[in-house]
Structure 1
Amino acid sequence: MAVHLDLLPPFISRGGGEDFVKARHNLLLSVSPRDNSIGVFAGTVRSSHYAVNGVAPTQGKVRDILFASADKMPSAERRLFITDTSVIFAAFQNLISVTNEKGSEALFNVENLRLMNKLVNDYVNFAKECWVHASQAVARPDGLQYTADHYRSIYTCTSLFQTLYLPDPDVEHAPVGDELMEWLNTHFIEPSTEEGDVLSRLESAWEGEGFWEYLTRTALRGLTKATVFFLKLLSSSHPSSYLQSLSDSLIPILEDQPHLQQFKTEREFTLAHHRWKNQVKALRVELHHVPEDEETRFDGWDNWWDRLSDIVAVLEGREDVLMRVVQDLGGGWKEVCAAWGVFVDPRLRRQELPEVVERVIDVIPYDPTDLEDIIHAQLLTGEVAKALVSAEKLDVWLSCHLADVMNALGLLQEAEEGEEVVDGTGTTLRQHHVLQYAEYLHSDPALWRITVDYMCACGEIGTYRADEVLLRVPLGFSSYSQPTGSDPGGKKTTVNDDRIADTEDEASRIRAGDIVGVLKEVNQCCFEHGREGVRRMVCRIAGKALMSEKQYGLAISYYTSAEDWPGLGRVIDQVLNEYITQGPAKFTSLVAEIAPSLQTLRSAADSSDYPMHGIFLHRLMFIVKYAEFHQRKISNDLIEAAADLMSMFEGDIAPTSWWGVLLQDSVEFLNHPGGMLFTSANIGLLLRKMEEVQTRTSQGSGEDYLSVLVKIIRSSGGKGIGGEKEALNKLKMVRLALAKYFARCGVIGVGGKDSLNAVTRNSNVYAS
């Protein structure tokens, strides 16, 4: 389907198209993944492939990009209409889902039909409220996006659909005439109250302009009180005694006209209507007794006999007179159809309406330029698929919600089996129209939650579209800020202070560990629609964003929720890199945010809540333990710090690439002038680690053991010729400190003779 978009200002000035082509330029576009806006820019013929990626070739100069949208973003009053009716849509989907679990036939039991009727009635009432709201003469700074007449059209169409296709179950198979007339009188009021007021103030109302038209129309529309009021006036004041008598006879006929809702059974109604028709026939006989001379039948203003005869003919149900009278009154085909079910065929059923409507339309056609009139005709003739196409042109909201209800009622099955299928994508008629509405909602990023709800109600293809929307919802980690100032055009721009405060509060709460705001809604939305894969991807995105802001504790939480263990590993690597570049103080402050996550992860791993790889848990344990080690050093708690250092080796949680760093850290404890901080067993373990580092390095695996130590040396300004060589020189200092410590142990007898022998044996073994 071709879409016409207007660009302002025009991309190519008038008459410039030929020059544009001669310059080997063409128009390229890129669709925004966040909404349905489009960026349009110029490119060369050779670079047209850039449109796929949405990148414009600059060729050394800045090119203009103009933005357009397939749909206009909903305004405030429109957004209110959308959000309110989305609640009804959600309730309808829930009803369908629950009943489908019980079997397809369960949907059509009386209770569920009444529930559907109520929900559709809610659609009708919301359309009415919007119409009333838009009709109010209130000054609105930005005006209305849709006129009151637009919402009135939606109101009439939804109301007619309910009347025809989803009435109360008690009257579903009953005659439809009275209901159709009630719908007509509700939405197309004729004659107006003002006309009656003007005529009632006249001393001789029949002398007033339009008197008989008013009287005929009130009788035709079943407005008995107004008709009787003026008939009593005629019976008491009109100069013709014949008309006085006839008016007296007509009053009880109109007052006693039977209506279906007055009777318990249709049979009783039919019998009463038959007796009533006999009264009308008697009135026709009385009418024929009036002399035919003009003086008798003409009162100086109008031929009252002809006028009264038309009214009686309508009551008799003469279809030719009915059509002529309605046309003379300036009425349309809908008025004839409603009156047909009241006077011509009082037992007219809903399924018989299409034939009657087609007969009427052949004589009094609908307006082919009026979408509202077209939709009414298509609904009344049962052309539901065509009605949806017309409804989409009027308002995509209307086609979406009508298609949803039609599908539940089984009205679209026949159309889908025929030639009314919309496209070849495999979507049903319902899915097509609901997805069209969802794409319209996508024009407003703030309506992403409702957009996803509608998309997820459209099977697999809709769910895939919803996934793409969820993945692109801004999560709100960055505080909203926009300075007050002037734009390039000199127009002053301001920011709503409440919005800034709310967004900043949300961002700060997220950083405090609360899943709030948009992030919470995205998680909840994924849960409701069973989009676990998308939820994990969103958590990965959140983790990556938080890691870039050095919110490592929260980043670990989100990567864990996403079960993205490589992502967790990247966070750990980044935190360890902070130690290399920033030193112990910064490192310990960052790890303080991570420490609470360790206990949670260990508990989850023990309970198998997460199929976590042990290597990442061990690495997380290492950075927490290493941070505790430095924190104790800073606090001068050297005994516990030394114990932490040894526990990292004894528990085998220290990566081999950090062994050199830990051995370098041990020098301070080995050279401590106070008490002995290591046992002889500790010294033996350190010697074994030292020997392994040196041996593996000599065998060509220095990168595995000394890479971190080399980075630390370079970060601190070391300028050795070879990285590993300088790192090995540092380890020589460690070996010397170990030798001195070993000598001190021998002098003062730390650990006893057996312990010293053990140290010696370990040293000899690993030296060999």
Structure 2
Amino acid sequence: MPAAEYLTLAPPLVEAGKFDELVKAGQTVSSTFSSSDNSFAVYITNAIVPNAAKGRTGEEEQPIYFASLYSPPSSERRLFLVDTLIIFAAFRNLLKNASMQEPGWIQGDQSLTMIRKLSIDYVNFIKECWVHASQPIPRPDGPLQFSSDHYRSLYTCFSLFVVLYLPEPGYEQAPVADELMEWLNTHFIEPSTQEGDQLSALDCPWEDETFWPYLTRAILRGLSKASLFFLGVLERHPSDNLQRLISTLIPLVETQPRLMNFTAERDFAHAIRRWSEKVKALRIEMDRVPENSRFDDFDNWWDKLSDIVGILEGRQDVIQRVCEDLGADWKEVCVAWSIFVDPRMRRQDIPEVVFQVIGDMPPDPTDLEDMIHAALFSGQPAEALQHAFKLDSWLSAHLSDIMESIQLIPTDVDEDSGVSLRDQYILSYAEYLHSDPALWRITVDYMYSCGQVGQSRADEVLLRVPLKLQEQNSDLKVDSQIRAGEIVGVLKDVNRTCFEYKRESVRRTVCRIAAQTLVFDKDYGLAVSYCTSAEDWRGLARIVDRVLEEYIATGPRKFTEYALAIAPSVKELRSQSTIQGVFVHRLIFAVRYARFHDLIQKQEYQDAASDLVAIFVEDVAPTSWWAVVLCDSVQLLQYSPALLFTSSGASLLLQKLEEIFVRASQGAADDYLSVLVRVLRVRGEKEALERLKTVRLALARYFGRCLVLGVGGT
């Protein structure tokens, strides 16, 4: 079903005929499009500056309407859409394999057999849906979104397409009559079984007004069993002439040649000629019946029997008149034509016959199903797609997919739209699927089959898939999986889709989006995992900066919690040579510094002192953090039970401290003291330097203790 051409809001935002009043008041109707599900928010807004608006104030509350171009699929409809994707995917794989074969392979018997098989799979699946929708069972969710009659229409159209355009390999040039009659009798059952049961219960059924129409319809439809039964009943008719003619007619109906009963078409054609001669003989015999003997007490039996013989003779005028009298349409005339008028009619001959018939018996323009049938019979697949799109975009999408593969429609890309005819219908169907955000997986499957335009649209869909990261974080099992380096949940599905369609740039962007979301929630550990997956090293640096900002803003406790959460990523990142060193060093510093504060909180001072020295030895601390780290050393330098630093370690601390004072005196104070100023919340660099003098004093006392004890530290 195509998108709605207009949206109807109830109650209306503006009464009919009053839009000019709204404009005079300085307002208009606006809308905002949602790219997540193709819906709209519709509301009244100011058309000019609010202060200049008249009649209504800017603060006046206005309703917001939410509308959609499509009706999102219901649960049962969604099941139909998802399940048929399996067949679509198999068909795409077939075409993918065809691209690796020799040119023209797709038109060979092997591939056409597979295409026919997959098309029949579509037909069988639609049939199952139709049968299910037809069952009178209680439906808790209310009536079906699409009725059983809708699926019946899909069933008749798709099966007709298979009959006309996908014959079994080797039978492309074979007569098509039997297949057409089977299709007609399967989908448009006439005469009804109930009529036959009622007539068979009568002692003299020919006295019933429905008898001859029933018998004629049975002959016309090739229903030999029913035809022979009621012809046999006429052998008890009071007219001796009729009995005599029936005794000749029964063998003719019983032995009418059918292609399926012959191994060679030549034998079939020969049998048709001999059989036709016998029908002509029956006509001669009928003409000998006197005029006054052609009636019984109820009707002119001779005229009724003459119509039946006229059908067997293949007289076009009789077949068309009889079909009109019986209430049949152009389809039945065309199928009967292939049985009685031209039993050797090929598929390529059908359009010419249809053209003759629909001139007098046109299809119903208000019935989309009938219009699709007419277009398919007429050899106009592109026109059939137009009507199919109006009936159900699912039908036009899947028919066009097959039509393009067997060269029924052009494959040329339109210069304006950048898509082919097939892609146009596939993308329209994908837009319908996009009305339900939960169907994003199959939406992109269809879009990615449509060249660059489809790929760009699918990329945008993937970028807007709700990742539901908050739900993942509430699950401890999922949380541990992510920390172990495994991407799970919706993001895992998005990653798999990107990998399948080789959309690496999209995958990285999605991971960056996930990382940004987690940073907002202060889940820095998971954010680093996603940044790593996206190879977003600048984003990783921003996360480290955010973690370090936590220290500045709230102190060591929260900082330690956040920084240790990203510790598991350090080992993996250090092993990747592609990462720029500056990003790794900042991350290592945050983790090492957090570990230092964690050891302080646990009162493991010896290990804490070793870590503090290692931060400088390994040169992972940014120069702007040197002063902060040195201030943290005061507590350890003043620790009385034991000397925690070696002489070389203490000397290194003194060296870094003196470098800060020297650089500050040379005009580079901002590079070394900016963070300390913020941590101490002092007014400027001068006060920060004064605080650093406590570190110098603590180091002097530490060296003094070393001299008194006669040791160089432990």
- TM-score (structure 2 length as normaliser): 0.95
**Contact kept? 1:477, 1:507, Cα under 8 Å:** no
In structure 2, how many angstroms separate the alpha carbons of the residues matched to 1:271 and 1:34? Answer: 65
In structure 2, how many angstroms separate the alpha carbons of the residues matched to 1:738 and 1:303? Answer: 130
> In the alignment, which residue of structure 1 is the partner of 2:179?
179
**Contact kept? 1:506, 1:517, Cα under 8 Å:** no
Does residue 362 of structure 1 match 2:353? no
In structure 1, how many angstroms separate the alpha carbons of the residues matched to 2:370 and 2:518? Answer: 56
Choose from 433, 443, 461 the match for 1:451. 443
Note the alpha carbon deviations across 1:466-520, whole angstroms, 9 max, x for none.
Answer: 111111111112249xxxxxxxxxxxxxxxxxxxxx9968976777665333221
Q: 1:724 to 1:62 in 2, by over 3 A?
A: farther
| Matched position secondary structure for 1:478 | helix
> In the alignment, which residue of structure 2 is the partner of 1:519?
491
| Matched position secondary structure for 2:170 | helix
| Matched position secondary structure for 1:591 | helix
> In the alignment, which residue of structure 1 is the partner of 2:218?
218
> In the alignment, which residue of structure 2 is the partner of 1:198?
198
Does residue 13 of structure 1 match 2:15? yes
Does residue 617 of structure 1 match 2:607? no
> In the alignment, which residue of structure 1 is the partner of 2:241?
242
In structure 1, how many angstroms separate the alpha carbons of the residues matched to 2:144 and 2:15? Answer: 31
| Matched position secondary structure for 2:43 | strand
**Contact kept? 1:539, 1:561, Cα under 8 Å:** yes
In structure 1, how many angstroms separate the alpha carbons of the residues matched to 2:327 and 2:87? Answer: 38
| Matched position secondary structure for 2:291 | coil
Does residue 672 of structure 1 match 2:639? yes
- Alpha-carbon deviation of 1:675? 2.5
Choose from 383, 386, 389 the match for 1:386. 383
Q: 1:326 to 1:410 in 2, by over 3 A?
A: same
| Matched position secondary structure for 1:169 | coil
Residues 552-567 of structure 1 correspond to what in structure 2 (within 5 A)? 552-567=524-539
Does residue 688 of structure 1 match 2:655? yes
Residues 107-506 of structure 1 correspond to what in structure 2 (within 5 A)? 107-140=106-139, 141-235=141-235, 237-293=236-292, 296-413=293-410, 424-479=416-471
> In the alignment, which residue of structure 1 is the partner of 2:53?
none
- Alpha-carbon deviation of 1:228? 0.2
Note the alpha carbon deviations across 1:512-567, whole angstroms, 9 max, x for none.
Answer: 66533322111111111111111111101111111122221111010011111111
- Alpha-carbon deviation of 1:593? 2.0
One-letter amino acid of the counterpart of residue 629, structure 2: L
Between 1:316-325 and 1:59-68, the stretch displaced more is 59-68
> In the alignment, which residue of structure 1 is the partner of 2:686?
725
In structure 2, how many angstroms separate the alpha carbons of the residues matched to 1:454 and 1:503? Answer: 33
Does residue 735 of structure 1 match 2:696? yes
- Alpha-carbon deviation of 1:94? 1.0
In structure 2, how many angstroms separate the alpha carbons of the residues matched to 1:282 and 1:232? Answer: 20
**Contact kept? 2:482, 2:529, Cα under 8 Å:** no
Q: How many equivalent pairs are there?
A: 705
In structure 1, how many angstroms separate the alpha carbons of the residues matched to 2:49 and 2:153? Answer: 47
Structure 2 stretches of 5 or more lacking a match?
51-55
**Contact kept? 1:218, 1:227, Cα under 8 Å:** yes
**Contact kept? 1:506, 1:516, Cα under 8 Å:** no
Does residue 592 of structure 1 match 2:564? yes
> In the alignment, which residue of structure 1 is the partner of 2:710?
749
In structure 2, how many angstroms separate the alpha carbons of the residues matched to 1:242 and 1:307? Answer: 14
Between 1:216-225 and 1:675-684, the stretch displaced more is 675-684
In structure 2, how many angstroms separate the alpha carbons of the residues matched to 1:410 and 1:595? Answer: 59
CA RMSD across the alignment = 2.2
Note the alpha carbon deviations across 1:716-765, whole angstroms, 9 max, x for none.
Answer: xxxx4x3322211111011111112222333333349xx9xxxxxxxxxx
**Contact kept? 2:483, 2:529, Cα under 8 Å:** no
**Contact kept? 2:426, 2:450, Cα under 8 Å:** yes
Q: 1:277 to 1:121 in 2, by over 3 A?
A: same
| Matched position secondary structure for 2:32 | strand
Between 1:692-701 and 1:192-201, the stretch displaced more is 692-701
Note the alpha carbon deviations across 1:614-656, whole angstroms, 9 max, x for none.
Answer: 1111111112211222222222222221111111111111111
**Contact kept? 1:679, 1:750, Cα under 8 Å:** no
> In the alignment, which residue of structure 2 is the partner of 1:30?
32
- TM-score (structure 1 length as normaliser): 0.88
Note the alpha carbon deviations across 1:667-710, whole angstroms, 9 max, x for none.
Answer: 12222212222222222211221111111122222221112222
In structure 2, how many angstroms separate the alpha carbons of the residues matched to 1:749 and 1:132? Answer: 97
**Contact kept? 2:4, 2:69, Cα under 8 Å:** no
Q: 1:557 to 1:506 in 2, by over 3 A?
A: same
Choose from 39, 42, 57 the match for 1:40. 42
Structure 1 stretches of 5 or more lacking a match?
49-56, 481-501, 715-719, 756-768
> In the alignment, which residue of structure 2 is the partner of 1:643?
610
**Contact kept? 1:511, 1:551, Cα under 8 Å:** no
